[in-house]
Structure 1
Amino acid sequence: MYTLLNGLYKHITQKDEFFVLILGLDNAGKSTFLESAKTRFVKDYKGKNLGKITTTVGLNIGKIDTNGVRLNFWDLGGQQELQALWDKYYQECHAVIYVVDSNDRERIHESKESFVKMLSNSNLTGVPLLVAANKQDLEECMGVREVKPLFESSDEHVGTREVMVLATSGLRGEGVVEGIDWIAQCVIRNKHVRPPHDKENG
């Protein structure tokens, strides 16, 4: 009887699980964004020194419970040679956070090329998308008004999915909570298109 009740309790209290990709060029601030989010959402999480986070080679993961769901984050390396691995994760994901280094004007078009290539993959059709115009703490950075047209001009790839371009600073935490909350609400609204992972199998 205890086993039955315990199983029932777990089933009722277990949250729907969604998977969110964090993509963008190397040095855009993806890992800093994720760490900043974890320090704000995960109770008693001490976190890393945000000023000393190095380039991701491979994968960083994170888990955040908010809005009654569990968001599992996959922060993937953005170097050219690692971008070929991104599409292996598209079919399983429920949302994408694409991080743009707003302070790197020289690579902004390279970032857009990676963005368009990502969106042209049919496995991402209809998946909600947050474009984080990151590093807004730097004086010379491009504001959202400058970044937004560049990344919204890909209408044929964006399609009917939910999209938001948001000013963020992973280092200072600006826009991070707003962005994560928006993603959580999107995956809930979009669950008829991309259902959460089965509670039994995770």
Structure 2
Amino acid sequence: MFSLVSGAYRYFTRQDEYNVLMLGLDSSGKTTLLEKIKHIHTGVPGMPAENILPTVGVNISKVTMNRDLIKFMDLGGQADLRGIWEAYFEDCHAILFVIDSANGERIDEAGDVLIKLIKSEELEGLPVLILANKCDLSDAGSLVKIKEMVNGVADLLDSRDVRVMEASGVEGTRVQTAMDWLHSRIIDNRTKRPPAASDI
């Protein structure tokens, strides 16, 4: 009887856990965006944007979306830190690639980094959300340029789910819509990249 109750308890308290890598150049706003995601899903106020320092290494936060535990891993985007990204590829379920759409001078650089990610065999088939961040600061041409850049590498994307969206990590604009899309694609892809189990 105890084993039956224990088994039922484990079943009802188990969560599927998925890992999302937040990647992009330094100063693209990844950590600010993560603070907004945490606020939306927990109600706890995030750290003010002016107090956020550049990520060195990895910044990890977990939120629950429809009973699924989503672990966001915000990795430092400085050129000399990008070499550590590969250590996290094997266990991830999706890529959230953040681009500073207010800095048009670095969009091409971001595109080069994105292409390297797309070519990685360990990330093959994973959903990719490309977020044109800081839409509250950017001009309308930035999103067009980012979409053109993605269209230019369409042959490398195969049949994976890819979407380009505008958002603002500071204002929270379209952040929830972006996370809903990402979560749904992670679930759709779980036969190819199964979740890890976690106890609530």
CA drift of 1:70 comes to 1.1
Worse-superposed segment, 153-162 or 124-133: 153-162
State the shift of 1:128 in Å: 0.2
The answer on whether the counterparts of 1:91 and 1:123 sit within 8 Å (CA) in structure 2 is yes
Counterpart position of 2:132: 133
CA distance in 1, matches of 2:47, 2:176: 18
**3-state SS, counterpart of residue 98 of structure 1:** strand
How far does the alpha carbon of each residue in 1:132-188 deviate from its partner, in whole angstroms, 9 at most, with x for none?
Answer: 001101154644223211123112321111011010100101111111111111111
Using the size of structure 1 for normalisation, the TM-score is 0.92
Partners of 1:148 and 1:51 lie apart in 2 by 29
For 1:123 and 1:105, the matched residues in 2 are separated by 30
Structure 2 residue aligned with 1:89: 88
User: Hey, what does 1:67 align to over in structure 2?
Assistant: 66
Q: Is the counterpart of residue 186 in structure 1 residue 185 in structure 2?
A: yes
Give deviations 1:96-137, integer Å, cap 9, x for gaps. 000001011111111111100111110000000000001101
Could you say what the CA RMSD is over the residues aligned between the two structures, in angstroms?
1.8
**Uncovered stretches (5+) of structure 2, i.e. residues with no partner:** none
Compute the TM-score of the two structures, normalised by the length of structure 2: 0.93
Work out whether 1:34 is the aligned partner of 2:66. Answer: no
Aligned to 1:99: 98
Per-residue deviation, 1:8: 2.1
Match of 1:145 in 2: 144
CA distance in 2, matches of 1:166, 1:144: 8
Which letter does structure 1 place at the counterpart of 2:12? I
Fraction of identical pairs, as percent: 36
User: Does structure 1 retain, via aligned residues, the 8 Å contact 2:15–2:197?
Assistant: no
- Letter aligned with residue 41 of structure 1: H
The question of whether the paired residues in 2 share the 8 Å contact of 1:67 and 1:181 is answered with no
CA distance in structure 2 between the partners assigned to 1:155 and 1:140 by the alignment: 24
Once the two structures are superposed, the pairs formed by residues 49-68 of structure 1 within 5 Å of their partners are: 49-68=48-67
Shift of 1:3: 6.3
Note if contact 1:67-1:184 (Cα within 8 Å) is conserved in structure 2.
no
Could you tell me which amino acid in structure 2 is paired with residue 155 of structure 1? A
Aligned to 2:195: 196
Distance 1:140 1:78, change over 3 A: same
Q: 2-side partners of 1:129 and 1:142: how far apart?
A: 22
The verdict on how the C-alpha distance between 1:82 and 1:142 changes in structure 2, with shifts beyond 3 A counting, is: farther
Unaligned runs of 5+ in 1: none
Q: Which one-letter code corresponds to 1:5 in the other structure?
A: V
Q: How big is each residue's C-alpha offset from its partner over 1:63-97, in whole Å with a ceiling of 9 and x where there is no partner?
A: 11113311111000000011111111111100000
For 2:151 and 2:87, the matched residues in 1 are separated by 25
- Over 3 Å counting, the alpha-carbon distance change for 1:38 and 1:65 in structure 2 is same
Give 1:31 deviation, angstroms: 0.5
